[in-house]
Amino acid sequence: MELSRFDVEQHASDIHEVERWVSLAAATAVMAFGFMRRSAPGVALAVAAAPLAYRGLVGKWPFENGYANDTRTALSGDRGIHVREAVRIERPVNEVYRLWRQLENLPRVLTHLEQVKELGDGRSHWIARGPADLGVEWDAEIINEVENRVIAWRSLPQSDVVTAGSVTFKSVRGGRGTELSVHLQYAPPAGRAGAFLARIFGREPNQTIREDLRRMKQVLEAGEIPRTSIGEPRI
């Protein structure tokens, strides 16, 4: 897996050279396809590809000031992509909490994660597969932790991605079950459009997180992940 690292100091052109060429090529293809249709939807499609072409030529999205690498700036207000999913697990809250708190366990059930390494002092190093199989990695710190209630974290400066998130735990059904809510925020390497394209390519973040949570539920409840063939269960 190739890891894409971009230099956070370069605000003017903060995407990789390869990504620029890919953006330009994709935009050209979409525009050509759109115009060749010689129809109103075709032209609309071609016009819609203009920002992507701009990005390919200039290296950033139109009307965009470039990413800040500070989570508070990058993810404030409506910025960044928000993913919210919840799952109910028929196990006591302390058991569900324990699995989450041992961060190094997470790649077992969260398929988009390759590896999490705890660095001590509430800090950890994360490696994930991002949109279009681009690899990303970042360092994170836990910023809030209440046992059996909540774990929240954010990425540290100099990371590939700017991300923050929280998991809240709620005991339900007289302590027999747990409601787990995940809220993830991120400004991915390819921006909002990246997530949009990822959705077209079948890597819609909500669905990915939902499948991850389902897998976690299956491990905690059934002790195994249902499958019909050897190897990774299908997503």
Least distance in angstroms from the C-beta of 69 to another protein: 34
Residue 157 CB, nearest distance to another protein (Å)? 36
For another protein, the closer CB: 28 or 218: 218
Residues making up the chain, counted from first to last:
235
Question: Min. distance of Cβ 35 from another protein in angstroms?
Answer: 33
Nearer to another protein, 60 or 217 (CB): 217
- Shortest Cβ 150–another protein spacing (Å): 23
Nearest to another protein of 38, 234 (CB atom): 234
What's the order of all strands across the beta sheet hosting 135-146?
A: 81-89, 177-187, 162-172, 150-155, 135-146, 123-129, 113-120
The least CB distance from residue 123 to another protein, in Å, is 34
Least distance to another protein, CB of residue 108, Å: 15
Q: Are 163 and 186 in contact (CB under 8 A)?
A: yes
* Half-sphere exposure in the Cβ direction for 202 (13 Å, CA): 2
Q: Which is nearer to another protein, 16 or 210 (CB)?
A: 210
Give the interface with another protein as residue ranges (CB under 8 A): 88, 90, 173, 177, 207, 210-211, 214, 217-218, 221-230, 233-235
Residue whose CB is less far from another protein, 65 or 228: 228
Of the pair 156, 235, the CB lying nearest another protein is at 235
